Amino acid sequence: MKALVYRGPRDLVLEELEQPVCGLDEVVIEVSKVGICGSELEGYLGHSSVRFPPLVMGHEFCGRVTELGANVAELSIGDKVAVNPLIACGRCDRCLSGKSSICGSRRIVGIHRPGAFARYVAVPAANAIRVPDGMDPLLGSLAEPLAVAVHAVKLGVQPLDEQLIYGAGPIGLLALQAAQCMGAGRVTVVDLQPARLAYAAELGARAVPAGELADRWTELFPDGVDVILDCVGAQPTREQAMKLINPGGRIVMVGLAQGVTPMPINDLVRQELSLLGSYTYSGRDFRQALDLLEAGRIRTDGWIETRPLSAGPDAFLELADGTTTAGKIVLDAQAN
Q: Give 78-119 pLDDT, tens digit per residue.
A: 999 999 999 999 999 999 999 999 999 999 999 999 999 999
The structure's pTM equals: 0.95
Domains in the chain with CATH codes: 2-142+300-332 (3.90.180.10), 147-277 (3.40.50.720)
87 vs 11: CA distance, rounded Å:
27
pLDDT band of residue 258 (cuts 50, 70, 90) is: confident
Specify which residues 65 forms β-bridges with. 29
Checking if the pLDDT of 260 tops 80, the result is: yes
Mean pLDDT of the chain: 95
Q: Where does 20-144 show beta strands of DSSP type E?
A: 26-35, 60-68, 80-83, 86-87, 107-108, 120-124, 128-130
Checking if the pLDDT of 218 tops 90, the result is: yes
CB 175 within 8 A of CB 151: no
Give Cα 195 distance to the centre of its chain: 20
Checking if the pLDDT of 158 tops 80, the result is: no
pLDDT band of residue 212 (cuts 50, 70, 90) is: very high
**Window from 29-38, 119-128, 266-275 with minimum mean pLDDT:** 266-275
Provide the sign of the torsion angle of the four alpha carbons 181, 182, 187, 189, taken in this order. Answer: negative
Kindly state the DSSP code that residue 229 receives in the 8-state scheme.
E
Does residue 46 come out as left (phi exceeding 0), alpha (psi in the -120 to 50 range) or beta? left
What does the pLDDT look like over 273-292, one tens digit per residue? 999 999 999 999 999 999 99
118 vs 6: CA distance, rounded Å:
12
Q: Which residue has the higher pLDDT, 308 or 257?
A: 308
Kind and range of the H or E run holding 308 = strand 304-308
Nearest Cα neighbor of 108 from 88, 90, 81, 93 is: 88
Residue 8: CB atoms within 10 Å: 12
- Can you tell me the mean pLDDT for 120-125? 99
What does the pLDDT look like over 36-81, one tens digit per residue? 999 999 999 998 888 999 999 999 999 999 999 999 999 999 999 9
Compute the radius of gyration of the chain from its Cα atoms.
20
147 vs 195: CA distance, rounded Å:
24
146 vs 175: CA distance, rounded Å:
7
Q: Which residues, including other chains, have CB under 8 Å from residue 55's CB and lie 6 or more apart?
A: 5, 6, 43, 110, 111, 114, 115
